[in-house]
Amino acid sequence: MPGVILEAARVAVSYDGVQVLAPSSFALGAGEMVAVVGPNGAGKSSLFKALAGFVDHEGDVIVHGEACHHHERQAIAYIPQQTDIDLRFPIPVADVVMAGRRRFHGARMRPTDADRAAVRDRLAQVGMIEAADASLAALSGGQVQRVMIARALAQEADVLLLDEALSGVDARRTEGLIDLFDSIRSTGSAVVVSSHDLALVRSRFPRCLTVNGRIVGDGEPATELAGDRLEAVFTSR
């Protein structure tokens, strides 16, 4: 694949000796937008966490041709499922997004005017600029998702891994975020989104990976989410 950004080479994940994701491989090119589809407990989140370096795994994650370790994955921005986010800590929205700028701080560890401008721009992109000073704990689920997307955008990563990032977002905002993902693609970054909304995947994503204990399909949604293939994804394990 020309312009490959990321490769997963037989990536597998186990917890306490139980394998939840069997060896799985795929490649991700610059400017791609890919959906990841599968039933609950299929290993989608484990795949994302392995790619982002948040869980131990077998196999290799290769970014820009180099096998990488946890501390070398700044080229990857990861948004976990909302159930993995602690909303009890009263942190301001702007500070959440600023966390995405840490890769640019270096030894100084202090945000610059450019960082603060980037935070405002990313919040404006997701329609949350008016909530910049609000507490994350005071937001709705859909608003939290948009803030987390803004944080990932602030990181200026080459790959965005968004685990159920559209969950809880209303239909109008969802369409706006998909349009935003399309604009991100035009810059050469790749966007990978796990979703249970099969109609959305069919209508807005050019490629999807189907997962059930391993990657079982990779192609156009019209093919991978049709007939026997779709049934196999949601019934076999």
150 neighbors 79 (Cβ within 8 angstroms): no
What is d(CA 105, CA 112) in angstroms, rounded to the nearest whole number?
8
- Three-state DSSP class for residue 38: coil
Q: The tokens 């694949």 sit on which residue?
A: 1
End-to-end CA gap in the chain: 29
pLDDT of residue 173: 81
Phi and psi angles of residue 206, each rounded to the nearest 5 degrees, phi first: -80, -15
β-pair partners for 151: none
Q: Does domain 1-75+159-168+190-237 have CATH number 3.40.50.11030?
A: no
pLDDT of residue 232: 84
pLDDT of residue 111: 86
What is d(CA 156, CA 207) in angstroms, rounded to the nearest whole number?
23
User: Cα–Cα distances in Å, from 57 out to 37, 43, 164, 185?
Assistant: 21, 12, 21, 28
Short-list 222, 227, 166, 230, CA closest to 193: 166
Averaged pLDDT, groups of 10, the chain, 237 residues long: 85 95 96 95 94 93 83 79 69 92 72 92 92 91 85 90 83 85 87 93 95 95 91 78
User: In the chain, where are the structural domains located?
Assistant: 1-75+159-168+190-237, 78-156
The encoded tokens of residue 150 equal: 């803004």
